[in-house]
Amino acid sequence: MRNRPITIRDLALKLDVSISTVSRALRGAPEINPETKTAVLSLAKELNYQPNVVAQSLRNKKTNTIGVVVPEIEMSFFSSVMSGIQEMARSHGYRVLFTQSNECYQEESHNLDTLLQSRVDGILMSISRETSNTEHIQKILRTKTPIVFFDRTPHGVPASKVIVDDRDGAYKAVSYLISTGAKRIAHIGGPRNLEIARNRRKGYIDALSEFNHPVGEHLIVHCEHLKEDAVEATKILLGQEEIPDAIFCINDPVAIKVIQTIKDKGFRIPEDIQVIGFANDPVSEVIEPPLSTISQPSKAMGRAALKLLLDQLTDENDFQPKTQLMETELLLRGSTL
């Protein structure tokens, strides 16, 4: 038997006033008699009254809840973003409905439907590695539910986003490798449909071109399933006649696998092969040698994404999609010269 929660009606009956009055007292409406207000508040406290936010949401057509869709909470980048989102949401009185797509388009689409049915005030999302068509997102846009993307953004969708300059981050990484004298710089890329993967690849190519390094297709391998394909990708690179002397990886989880595979094969890092990742995953500073990487302010990205969403909620009429670019930094550790 569940205890029936206290309602404003209970309070009203006990105090012999109307529910309107109780409601006004609780909400701190200006028209209320101070004494009535005190009486209501003290009774509410005494009975541990908890407003029914479900009822409030229905009445106000606002749930004070935002929905989040991430590919995988177990990826440390996303749990860190999530932490930033939660922190910011809490401080603004918002609740967070959490979903993950498990890198699967179907689940992602289903999650969006769930969030829509839940009448979240807005959505924060990073797309799955499978997502190239954006029908499910167009559906959200049609309902005019504000949505802000972070990190992995869909192509050609008019929505705000929080990203780092992926091309520039990659460019910094590869330029550095060139400065150490690396000649055959390979790239292990990510799923081709992800913009972040295309942009990091572009940064890699831009750096090579600028310094007149040859750009060879055989030096680029794509991991459509990210770290799950990383061992295989590394083996392909190490199996060539001339092995690379540096590898720039799409992200740290992939770079970790790359380092392990290189070591297994008996090559030395960084002497034989240098490695750079992307994201500054906690594992990267622990692995031997510690992984050089491009850091992203993951937690701040979460906070920023929520902030953009809240801004959009405030002035829904004159909404313009904004792109917020966050800073990256080249972190040099033992995996590079």
What's the closest the beta carbon of residue 145 comes to a copy of itself, in angstroms?
A: 8
**Only segment of 30-38, 101-109, 189-197, 233-241 that touches DNA (CB under 7 A):** 30-38
Integer-rounded Cα radius of gyration of the chain: 26
Q: Is 5 in the site for a copy of itself (CB under 8 A)?
A: yes
Q: Is 236 in the site for a copy of itself (CB under 8 A)?
A: no
Lookup result for tokens 């860190």: 80
Q: Which stretch binds DNA (CB under 7 A): 17-25, 108-116, 188-196, 269-277?
A: 17-25
Residue placing its CB nearer to a copy of itself in the complex, 80 or 199: 80
Phi–psi pair at 160, nearest 5 degrees: -70, 155
**Is 100 near a copy of itself (CB under 8 A)?**
yes
Contact flag: residue 316 with a copy of itself (CB under 8 A)? yes
CA-CA distance, 250 to 257, in Å (whole number)?
Answer: 12
- Based on the shown chain and the rule CB under 8 A, indicate whether residue 97 belongs to the binding site for a copy of itself: yes
Residue 45 in the binding site for a copy of itself (CB under 8 A) = no
Stretch that binds DNA, among 21-29, 120-128, 192-200, 244-252 (CB under 7 A): 21-29
20 binds DNA (CB under 7 A): yes
What are the helix (H) ranges across 187-251?
195-210, 230-238
The C-alpha atoms of residue 229 and residue 138 are separated, in whole angstroms, by 31
Among 15, 41, 96, 157, interactor with a copy of itself by CB under 8 A: 96
Report if residue 59 touches DNA, rule: CB under 7 A.
yes
**Residues touching DNA: how many (CB under 7 A)?**
30
Q: Tell me how far, at minimum, the Cβ of 50 lies from DNA, in Å.
A: 7
Residues 6+ positions from 19 with CB-CB distance below 8 Å:
8, 9, 12
179, with CB counted inside 10 A (0-12, 13-18, 19+), is exposed
Which DSSP helix (H) or strand (E) runs through 262? helix 252-264
Task: Quickly count: other Cβ atoms within 10 Å of residue 132's Cβ.
Answer: 14
- Buried/exposed code over 197-208 (b: 16+ C-beta within 10 A; e: otherwise): bbbbbebbbbbb
- When asked if residue 139 is in the footprint of a copy of itself (CB under 8 A), the reply is yes
Q: Taking CB within 5 to 8 Å according to partner kind, which of a copy of itself, DNA, none is near residue 2? A: a copy of itself
* Contact between 226 and a copy of itself per CB under 8 A: no
Alpha carbon distances (Å) from 148 to 139, 246, 304, 308: 14, 36, 10, 7
User: Which residue, 52 or 133, has its beta carbon nearer to a copy of itself?
Assistant: 52
193 binds a copy of itself (CB under 8 A): no
Tokens of 111: 């999650």
Q: Are 214 and 231 in contact (CB under 8 A)?
A: no
Binding-site partner at residue 76 among DNA, a copy of itself, none, CB < 5 to 8 Å by type: a copy of itself
CA distances from 127 to 112, 134, 148, 258 (A): 11, 10, 11, 24
- CB neighbourhood size of 245 (10 A): 20
Q: Is 300 in the site for a copy of itself (CB under 8 A)?
A: no
C-alpha span between 276 and 251 (Å, rounded): 8
Q: Is 79 in the site for a copy of itself (CB under 8 A)?
A: yes
CB 269 within 8 A of CB 259: yes
Q: Which does 114 bind (CB under 5 to 8 A by kind): DNA, a copy of itself, none?
A: a copy of itself
Q: Which does 283 bind (CB under 5 to 8 A by kind): a copy of itself, DNA, none?
A: a copy of itself
Q: Interface residues with a copy of itself (CB under 8 A)? A: 1-3, 5, 48, 50-55, 57-58, 63, 65, 68, 72-74, 76, 79-80, 82-83, 86-87, 90, 95-100, 102, 107, 113-114, 116-119, 139, 142-145, 256, 260, 282-283, 286-288, 316-317
